[in-house]
Structure 1
Amino acid sequence: MKNIKQITALETFSIRHPVLRAEKPIESCHFDGDTLETTFHFGLYDSDNLLGVVSLFEAKNNLFTTEKQFQIRGMAVLKQHQKLGLGEKLIIHAEKQCSEQKQNLIWFNAREEAIGFYTKMGYQTKGLPFEIKGVGEHVVMFKAINDE
């Protein structure tokens, strides 16, 4: 039985590291804002095994005029559990959290290989692709939540 629960920033490292930062030191898994009260971390579990994580940061991107915004960071599912709908469950959970926090927009920097996944979930791209040093090419993606 798979379930999602709130976890600490430190607990996300066991997934962030092998999926997003494999060639880098474990310290690279710490993101600015990880420990703020306004940041939420969620883990998707199968029994006691953590399979995937997603983090939500209250962060404004100036590409958008929307007042209230959340940024998704550190979205990752262990390789052997990818393509099973777990990432989708995590994103839907993040969207619900945004809605509960009365946020109006969810955005993130998507890796090139993940754009198709997010497009299927109703996200749109904004602006041109850009390089995140040491990580690779990304594009900003977004979705309106709680349309007024």
Structure 2
Amino acid sequence: MPAECRVIDYSDQYPLRATVLGQAASPKPGDDAPDTLHVGVYIDGQLVSIASVYHEPPPDSTDAGAWRLRGMATLPDAQGKGYGRLALSRCIDHVRASAGTRIWCNARAGAVDFYRALGFSAHANAQDVPGHGIRYYCERPV
């Protein structure tokens, strides 16, 4: 059965977020904003990958065209099969349709190559984000 990428409610992503990212099953700021998009990729009815985009500039910026990618996660046994790419592509399409100019994220060290392969540039200076570990700022134009 082919992968199905569809819009989901923000609460639908909590179990996968907790499993893959170790994040608590609780709302993030902006989860329920009208322009926020949450997508899920399903295989045989099982949610295997998620991604969300928020109309939010990066720290120390006022760029109204910037959108934040957050909560990107794919189940370990589903990684490397294009499901994360599918979810991210849907988010990029949403940002583009919303007149966004760029998308950014704070990527885990192990995910930087994934983002680079999809056109993101990664800044060399890493940050230690309390409760989340080392993160790299990545961005790409849409």
Q: Work out whether the TM-score is over 0.5.
A: yes
Deviation at 1:67, TM superposition (A): 3.1
Equivalent residue, structure 1, for 2:103? 106
Partners in 1 of 2:68 and 2:59 — Cα distance?
Answer: 12
Equivalent residue, structure 1, for 2:13? 12
Equivalent residue, structure 1, for 2:25? 26
Equivalent residue, structure 1, for 2:112? 115
Deviation at 1:80, TM superposition (A): 1.0
CA deviation map 1:8-37 (0-9, x unaligned): 11001121110001xx6433xx21111111
- Give the 5 Å matches for 1:41-80: 41-62=38-59, 66-80=63-77
Structure 1 gaps of 5+ residues are none
Give the residue type in structure 2 aligned to 1:92. S
Length, aligned pairs only: 141
Paired residues of 1:66 and 1:105 also in contact (CA < 8 A): no
Give the residue type in structure 2 aligned to 1:26. A
CA deviation map 1:62-94 (0-9, x unaligned): 555743111000000111101111111111111
- Give the 5 Å matches for 1:81-92: 81-92=78-89
Structure 2 gaps of 5+ residues are none
TM-score norm. by structure 2 comes to 0.92
TM-score norm. by structure 1 comes to 0.88
Partners in 2 of 1:7 and 1:136 — Cα distance?
Answer: 27
CA RMSD of aligned residues (A): 1.6
Paired residues of 2:53 and 2:68 also in contact (CA < 8 A): yes
Equivalent residue, structure 1, for 2:36? 39
Give the residue type in structure 2 aligned to 1:6. V
Paired residues of 2:52 and 2:70 also in contact (CA < 8 A): yes
Of the structure 1 ranges 83-92 and 69-78, higher mean CA displacement relative to structure 2 is found in 83-92
Paired residues of 1:111 and 1:138 also in contact (CA < 8 A): yes
Task: Give identity over the alignment, percent.
Answer: 23
Partners in 1 of 2:64 and 2:85 — Cα distance?
Answer: 26
Deviation at 1:126, TM superposition (A): 3.1
